C-alpha cells in the first residue's frame, strides 16, 4: 500500500514524514510508531515498520487529528479500536491502493 506525501484532514494539509524515531516532547523515553505534530502540520511514521503497519498508523494519527479538531474526546483505546476497524473495512473492500 502506498503512503501519500501529504493528507488533507478537515481542510488542513499534513505532510507525512518517515523517521527513524518519534519521541515524545515531554518524556524523552516514550517512543511511538507514529505521531502528529499539530503546530507543524506533520505526521511522523517510523520507517522501520512494514507498509501495512505504517498505513494503520497513519489512520491512527488521522483519527487523532479529527478528534482534536472537532473535540470528540476519544480515549487512546477508542482510537486504537477505530484504527483497526477502519483498516479492516478498507482492506476487505479493496479500497486501498496496493
pTM of the model as a whole = 0.89
Alpha carbon distance 74, 80 (integer Å): 10
In tens, the pLDDT along 42-58 reads 999 999 999 999 999 99
Check: CB of residue 34 under 8 Å from CB of residue 57. Answer: yes
Average of per-residue pLDDT values in the chain = 90
Domain borders along the chain are 6-92
The residue ranges of the chain whose pLDDT is under 50 are none
Assigned C-alpha cell, 68? 482534536
24-27 long-range CB contacts below 8 Å, 24 or more apart? none
Considering the segment(s) 6-92 as one domain, its CATH architecture is 2-Layer Sandwich (3.30)
The pLDDT, as a whole number, for residue 13 is 98
Alpha carbon distance 96, 98 (integer Å): 6
DSSP secondary-structure letter at 79? H
Amino acid at each position: 500500500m502506498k503512503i501519500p506525501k501529504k493528507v488533507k484532514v478537515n481542510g488542513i494539509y499534513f505532510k507525512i514524514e518517515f523517521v527513524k524515531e518519534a519521541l515524545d516532547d515531554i518524556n524523552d523515553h516514550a517512543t511511538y510508531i507514529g505521531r502528529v505534530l499539530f503546530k507543524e502540520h506533520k505526521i511522523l511514521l517510523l520507517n522501520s515498520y512494514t507498509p501495512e503497519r505504517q498505513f494503520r498508523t497513519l489512520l491512527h494519527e488521522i483519527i487523532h487529528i479529527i478528534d482534536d479538531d472537532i473535540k470528540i474526546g476519544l480515549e487512546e483505546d477508542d482510537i486504537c479500536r477505530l484504527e483497526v476497524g477502519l483498516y479492516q473495512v478498507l482492506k476487505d473492500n479493496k479500497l486501498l491502493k496496493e
